[in-house]
């Protein structure tokens, strides 16, 4: 009789595959991202935000509090996510054409090799835009875009708008007619808004009776990227609210690397130029922009809530790992800048929340992690081979509390500049114009005072520079910096 019971228990263990194990076997993976969302744009860090779905994931999952995107511009960051490599490998230093080097393992392709059904919904920002990149299915919504020529982009969202008699230009033209460039209220039905469309398409896939398992589904929302255009009620929720303003001081960029000034003007440059013409209105303008930014996040959060509820209704929540992050943040006025492209916290420090209650307990993890760690972590969980050449780490031991940290620093590479970030310091170097910046994060958490040429910090700068050069030998020719 005991032997029979043993056989039954053994069979049950094999059936459910998690008996006696703290690691899942080929879980479904739902990867959700936004575009332009910084670490501080989640309720766990800023409690004024109305984002109940993300708050639920945070309270029931793992919050990686020191997660960095490492390549804070759309295409470089997304190429890093799908390849597990830095821009110095994939050569995508900024937005523009081209794909990964030949022979580069791609996340979706590697998952397919071990039986995953792969679905991409929303913005991928690949080149060309319709590239499948290992997906079995793509529903393509390539972003809000910025000009009339973007009407030529006939992705799935454009075709959806056409059924309503609209094109992207019908809303994008409102950027110029608005008193503040790029800031306006969505004038059409909520169901026509791109992030609502992405949420709706995600639900349709999850609710399919024939949805294969295991699946990898990347749901990539296009907001809160500019234009800042959520339906009025979402922005209104924040417009009369007091919340932290931008971190900057007048003339700050004069003490920073020249490329930081270039990023101020290289994208929708008319906005910072307008703000310069009305210096007394800058803070109120930034408040309005941030209100719409947060409003778009609340709208997206509603879509995430619908997706999570659908997982539960279909009985998929028990074996589905949900990971939430963003491709990068945006300055929104910090350091006299609006958009992205630097190693500052609002640009490079992004959310990373992992929810899988069956296997991981709620916690805030302070160890460093970054986007190069996403691919090795997911491949390991999926039972796929992890290419030895990947520079990132498997984060499962960190998420399950087996270790406190897997690394004590992260790197950032963007626009041919390099940075190293630790708990205490942040060092950036820009070989193209022989400049750099260095911050004592303990005494200057807002990164306002560039100490790169301060002799008191020579030891710290040299130490971090040596780590940077050791990991990137092509920098070994030396680095010219002068002290006071």
pLDDT of residue 455: 96
User: 374, 398 in Cβ contact below 8 A?
Assistant: no
pLDDT higher than threshold 90 for residue 195: yes
Share of the chain above pLDDT 70, in %: 94
Instruction: Decide if pLDDT at 10 tops 70.
Output: no
Domain boundaries of the chain, sorted by first residue = 26-408, 422-484
- pLDDT the model gives residue 23: 78
Phi (first) and psi of residue 236, to 5 degrees: -60, -30
The percentage of residues in the chain with a pLDDT greater than 90, rounded to a whole number, is 88
> Residue 148: what pLDDT?
87
For tokens 């969505």, the residue is: 186
Mean pLDDT of 334-338: 97
> Per residue in 350-390, pLDDT tens?
999 999 999 999 999 999 999 999 999 999 999 999 999 99
Q: How far is CA 297 from CA 154, 230, 286, in A?
A: 26, 9, 16
Q: What is the pLDDT of residues 298-311, one digit of tens each?
A: 999 999 999 999 99
Of 60-64, 145-149, 241-245, 328-332, the one with minimum mean pLDDT is 145-149
Taking the C-alpha atoms of residue 95 and residue 437, their distance in angstroms, rounded to an integer, is 24
pLDDT of residue 11: 39
- The stretch 199-221 carries a mean pLDDT of 95
For residue 81, give Cα distances in angstroms to 126, 218, 409, 416, 484: 12, 11, 18, 18, 40
pLDDT for 481 equals 58
Nearest partner of 419 among 455, 460, 465, judged by Cα:
465
| Topology, domain 26-408 | Alkaline Phosphatase, subunit A (3.40.720)
On the question of pLDDT at 43 being above 70, the answer is yes
pLDDT tens digits along 259-279:
999 999 988 999 999 999 999
Query: Which pLDDT does position 251 carry in this prediction?
Result: 95
Split at pLDDT 50, 70, 90, the class of 5 is very low
pLDDT in tens, 134-190: 999 999 999 999 888 899 999 999 999 999 999 999 999 999 999 999 999 999 999
From CA 110, how far away is CA 115, in angstroms rounded? 9
97 band by pLDDT with thresholds 50, 70 and 90: confident
Mean pLDDT of the chain: 93
């Amino acid at each position: 009789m005991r032997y029979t019971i043993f056989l039954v228990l053994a069979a049950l263990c094999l059936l459910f595959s998690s008996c006696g194990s703290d690691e899942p076997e080929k879980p479904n993976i739902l990867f959700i991202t936004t575009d332009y969302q910084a670490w501080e744009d989640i309720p766990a860090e800023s409690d004024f935000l109305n984002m109940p779905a993300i708050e639920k994931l945070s309270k029931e999952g793992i919050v990686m509090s020191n997660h960095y995107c490492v390549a804070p511009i759309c295409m470089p960051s997304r190429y890093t996510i799908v390849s597990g490599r830095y821009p110095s490998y994939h050569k995508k230093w900024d937005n523009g054409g081209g794909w990964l080097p030949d022979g580069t393992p791609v996340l979706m392709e590697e998952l397919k090799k071990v039986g995953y059904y792969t679905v991409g919904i929303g913005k991928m920002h690949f080149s060309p835009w319709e590239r499948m990149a290992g997906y079995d299915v793509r529903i393509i919504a390539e972003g809000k875009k910025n000009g009339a020529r973007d009407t030529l982009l006939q992705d799935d969202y454009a075709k959806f708008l056409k059924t309503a008699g609209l094109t992207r230009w019908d809303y994008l033209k409102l950027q110029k007619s608005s008193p503040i460039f790029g800031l306006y209220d969505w004038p059409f039905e909520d169901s026509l808004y791109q992030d609502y469309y992405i949420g709706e398409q995600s639900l349709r896939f999850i609710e399919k009776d024939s949805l294969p398992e295991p699946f990898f589904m990347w749901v990539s929302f296009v907001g809160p990227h500019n234009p800042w255009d959520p339906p009025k009620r979402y922005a209104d929720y924040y417009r009369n609210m007091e919340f932290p303003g931008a971190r900057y001081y007048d003339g700050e960029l004069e003490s920073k690397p020249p490329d930081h000034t270039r990023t101020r003007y290289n994208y929708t440059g008319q906005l910072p130029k307008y703000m310069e013409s009305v210096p007394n209105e800058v803070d109120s303008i930034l408040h309005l922009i941030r209100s719409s930014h947060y409003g778009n996040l609340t709208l997206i959060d509603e879509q995430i809530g619908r997706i999570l509820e659908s997982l539960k209704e279909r009985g998929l929540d028990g074996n589905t790992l949900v990971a939430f992050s963003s491709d990068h943040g945006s300055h929104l006025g910090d350091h006299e800048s609006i958009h992205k492209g630097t190693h500052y916290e609002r640009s490079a420090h992004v959310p990373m929340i992992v929810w899988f209650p069956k296997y991981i307990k709620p916690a805030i993890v302070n160890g460093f992690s970054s986007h190069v760690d996403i691919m090795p972590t997911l491949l390991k969980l999926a039972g796929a081979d992890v290419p030895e050449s990947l520079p990132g780490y498997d984060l499962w031991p960190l998420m399950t509390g087996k270790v406190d940290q897997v690394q004590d620093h992260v790197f950032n590479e963007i626009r041919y500049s390099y940075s190293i970030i630790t708990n205490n310091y942040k060092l950036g170097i820009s070989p193209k114009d022989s400049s750099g910046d260095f911050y004592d994060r303990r005494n200057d958490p807002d990164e306002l005072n560039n100490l790169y040429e301060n002799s008191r910090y020579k030891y710290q700068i040299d130490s971090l520079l040596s780590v940077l050069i050791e990991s990137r030998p092509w920098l070994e020719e030396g680095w010219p910096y002068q002290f006071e």
